[in-house]
Amino acid sequence: MAVEGVLFTKEEGIATITFHRPERLNAVTDAMRTEVLRIATELRYDDGVKALIITGAGEAFSSGADSGELTADYSGPIEPYILKRPFGWWILPVRYFPKPTIAAIPGITAGTTYSLALACDFRIASEKARFSMVFIKRGLMPDGGATYYLTRIVGASKALELMMMGDTIDAREAERLGIVNKIVPHDELMNATRDLAMRIAKGPSVPIDLIKRGVYKGIDNDLESQLDYESLAQRICFQTEDFKEGVASFFERRPPQFKGR
């Protein structure tokens, strides 16, 4: 059943979730967040999906949580809410999605949906994109995992500055800080994002999945643990058809034709 404000498509191994409330700068409601959680959770078990794109319609990725719901939903007693679920509950299936995830950012991204973009593996930005840890200007602290993701991307000192000041930065500054992988002309955003997703989709699925898992393990693991992981993962790769194809294509001097198995 479709949820108002969220569009979903799946084509050629690429799944796309689009926030679609352009008149509200794609501000997300509780129903929209629940729908993102549902889709990302279900897609975990879809072997036909090789990459997940998340984007927003019009001139925004998303301005964050719908302000009309903030006061109504989150200003009640503290303890019962914490016991119910943490902020950012809806982002976890994206963060732990087993296949590569890409945020395509056409314009403003702020608040909790900024955290969602940071949770993705890649971020491709339009030249019009802007980023704001706006929480502090509403008397709030960042949530959705922002203190986890942003600190690991830009370092503690810069993360503190961005969060405590709440200033809006443009796409160029976001690229300089490593928040976005690439900036493209506004009208080329989705084509560039799909090109990246298609390159991933046509690649050898097993090592791609293992690379993603290994990189995130490596953030907190020691070197010896990572070497153990890499050794096990490499032995798995040796068993795949794509490994055999990769070797054969090298000797035959042709591009490999991977099958994802």
218 neighbors 226 (Cβ within 8 angstroms): yes
pLDDT of 87 > 80? The answer is: no
- Could you report the per-residue pLDDT of 167-204, keeping only the tens digit for each? 999 999 999 999 999 999 999 999 999 999 999 999 99
Domain 205-251, what fold? Answer: Lyase 2-enoyl-coa Hydratase; Chain  A, domain 2 (1.10.12)
Give the per-residue pLDDT at 82: 52
- The torsion angles phi and psi of 97, rounded to 5 degrees, stand at -60, 130
Residue 75 has pLDDT above 60, yes or no: no
Tens-digit pLDDT profile for residues 226-238? 999 999 999 999 9
CATH top-level class for 6-201?
alpha beta
Q: What pLDDT, in 10s, does the model give residues 91-142?
A: 999 999 999 999 999 999 999 999 999 999 999 999 999 999 999 998 999 9
pLDDT tens, 19-38?
999 999 999 999 999 999 99
Give pLDDT, residue 68: 75
Q: Where in the chain is CATH 1.10.12.10?
A: 205-251
CA 31 – CA 148 distance, rounded (Å): 25
Residue 3 confidence (pLDDT): 85
Q: What is the mean pLDDT of residues 80-91?
A: 70
C-beta pairs of 37-42 under 8 Å, 24+ apart in sequence: 37/89, 37/90, 37/92, 37/93, 39/6, 39/8, 39/15, 40/93, 40/94, 40/97, 41/93
Above pLDDT 70, what percent of the chain? 93
Determine the Cα–Cα distance for residues 210 and 230; give it in Å rounded to an integer.
Answer: 9
Sequence ranges of the chain with CATH classification 3.90.226.10 = 6-201
